Amino acid sequence: MGLSKKGFVIVVLVAILLIGAVILAIYITNLNDYRSRIQNMQFSNIDIASIPDGTYTGESDANLVYAKVEVVVLDGTLVSIDLLRHDNGRGDSAEQIIDDMIEQQALDVDAISGATSSSKVIRKAIENALTGNRD
């Protein structure tokens, strides 16, 4: 004997609720992982003048924010930093940090207000490019 219309509707609603609960659990797990990665992100003090001339590629992934960069160093100076990819929520303004790094010839620059997490991820991607590290 098959399900009545009412029984079918209940089964569908329960299935939708279960799927929603799973999606919510995955989102909360990803959000907690992201917060932990950002909070625990450590930076090294890099002397740009000691980096050999070349083009370096690096990336950093904090789960909900990701950046991939290409960094060009020539004669001990940051010549250019190209942001190849930047996945973020509302952190587009963090991309200004690249200009700040080139202007100051340093990686240790202030994060962009309102886009601190994306600023950190971009900065870490640049550091990883210059050190050959992965995170």
3-state secondary structure of 74: strand
Token pair belonging to 27: 């989102």
Angle at 107 between CA 103 and CA 112, to 5 degrees: 75
Answer yes or no: is pLDDT of 31 > 90: no
**Predicted TM-score of the model (pTM):** 0.81
What integer pLDDT is reported at residue 96 of this predicted model? 94
pLDDT band at 33; cut points 50, 70, 90: confident
Query: What's the sign of the alpha-carbon dihedral 43, 81, 48, 104?
Result: negative
Question: Per residue in 6-24, pLDDT tens?
Answer: 888 899 999 999 999 999 9
Question: Per residue in 96-118, pLDDT tens?
Answer: 999 999 999 999 999 998 899 99
CB atoms inside a 10 Å sphere around CB 131: 13
> What CATH number was assigned to the domain covering residues 48-131?
3.90.1010.20
| DSSP letters for 18-58 | HHHHHHHHHHHHHHHHHHHHHHT-------GGGSPSEEEEE
